[in-house]
Amino acid sequence: MAVLTEEQALIKDQASDWVKEKAPVSSFRALRDSKSKQAFLPETWQAMVDMGWSGILVPEQYGGSDLGYLTSGLILEQLGRQLTASPFFASSVVGASALMLAGDTAQQEALMPGIVDGSTLITLALDESSQHQPEQTAFEAEASGDGFSLNGKKTFVAEGMCATHYIVAARTSGKPGDAFGLSLFLVAADAVGLERTALPTIDSRDYARLSFADVEVHATALLGTLDDGMPVLEQLLDRARIGMAAEILGTACQAFDMTLDYLKTREQFGKVIGSFQALGHRAAALYSLMEQSRSCVEAALQAVDVGADNIPELASLSKCQVGKFLFQMSNEMIQIHGGIGMTDDFDAGLYLKRARVLETSFGNRAYHRDRYATLMGF
């Protein structure tokens, strides 16, 4: 387990207490059952803003606290434990990271303060199919007047219906499959020609499909260097993968704790079922996997904070390892709980559904096994 500073320990405890009291699973369940078009409660997000979480990665000059990725990971883990719905990951982690990596001074000054006060929600619009294949981007951006004209479609855009701005990956030269020729653009959600449609998912979160028809953006909307956006995009994706791994860790750990409690209290044949050797062995194997996953995630978060050279390797390692843990844990949770685990009255199903979505986001285990092997020279 990572050694935390006093401030990080306080934030972890604060986040743990807050999500249990103010944003528990029951709150998410109530939001889902209400059939509301809102994917998160505004008061929940405002409370997170008031605690300073929205600006956790933002430099102090823009009103943030600049506490680093390990600190943001501590918050993401606690949010994952209670399945708390919010734009924290999409905007405060991914959106803020994009501006820090590639934004110029004007872009940062215009958007960073809004991220801090929660009024600006920036999310990444990358995938164009059910597969995570950044280099296969076919979305087009053509020079037009004093800017660019954007045409194409994006799917599985997190917080896509509530976002105020999108970071859009577009091809400005070359063909799908080419690493060179990709560029990133900042596009306002109310841009003329941009249509967004809600994308229903089994975890009842905010995802959207975006359709761009001759959407005109000024040259100042370019984020980073024209045609050479892939290096920045890879850095951004690694930070997103590591952040999501932290959330996945929290979700899986909570599933483990719930299952362990059930093993200690459920009786069968006059004994608590945790005393059965077969179930004890399964719990022990899951515990080992949990600790391995935590080591990978915390190492990756710390690597980003210190600017290590092996961030890509650690990003894929952590996303793959913690994805494996969540997949097995969510399955075992259902199996060990038996029939009750299959009912919607119990929370196990909510964790299973969230698990399946998180596993595929920003590359599934197969994608990251292959990427890790390639990065390691195999």
Q: What's the pLDDT tens digit per position in 67-76? A: 999 999 999 9
Of the CA atoms within 13 Å of residue 129, those in its CB half-sphere come to: 8
pLDDT band at 17 (very low <50, low <70, confident <90, very high): very high
pLDDT of residue 76: 98
What average pLDDT does the segment 317-326 reach? 97
What average pLDDT does the segment 37-63 reach? 95
pLDDT band at 3 (very low <50, low <70, confident <90, very high): confident
CA distance 215 to 272: 62
279 pLDDT exceeds 90? no
Asked whether the beta carbons of 211 and 197 are under 8 A apart, the reply is yes
pLDDT of residue 343: 82
Domains and CATH numbers, the chain: 6-119 (1.10.540.10), 124-227 (2.40.110.10), 231-375 (1.20.140.10)
pLDDT of residue 360: 93
Token pair of 131 as six digits: 């597969």
pLDDT digits (tens, 9 = 90+) for 237-252: 999 999 999 999 999 9
Kindly compute the dihedral angle of the four CA atoms of residues 79, 82, 86, 92, in this order, to the nearest 10 degrees. Answer: 0
Transcribe 264-276 into DSSP letters.
HH-EETTEEGGGS
pLDDT band at 375 (very low <50, low <70, confident <90, very high): very high
Q: How far is CA 55 from CA 16, 72, 91, in A?
A: 18, 10, 10
- Average pLDDT taken over every residue of the chain: 95
pLDDT of residue 169: 98
pLDDT band at 274 (very low <50, low <70, confident <90, very high): confident
Residue-wise burial string across 298-317, b where 16 or more C-beta atoms lie within 10 A, e elsewhere: bbbbbbbeeeeeebbbbbbb
368 pLDDT exceeds 90? yes
pLDDT digits (tens, 9 = 90+) for 90-125: 999 999 999 999 999 999 999 999 999 999 999 999
Asked whether the beta carbons of 176 and 137 are under 8 A apart, the reply is yes
pLDDT band at 276 (very low <50, low <70, confident <90, very high): confident
Bridge-partner residues for 63, per DSSP? none
What average pLDDT does the segment 281-296 reach? 95
Chain-centre distance of CA 367, in angstroms?
A: 16
1 pLDDT exceeds 80? no
What average pLDDT does the segment 49-57 reach? 97
pLDDT of residue 326: 95
pLDDT digits (tens, 9 = 90+) for 198-216: 999 999 999 999 999 999 9
pLDDT of residue 263: 87
Query: Would residue 174 be called left, alpha or beta, if left means φ above 0 and alpha means ψ between -120 and 50 degrees?
Result: left
In this structure, what are the phi and psi dihedrals at residue 186, rounded to the nearest 5 degrees?
A: -95, 120
46 pLDDT exceeds 80? yes
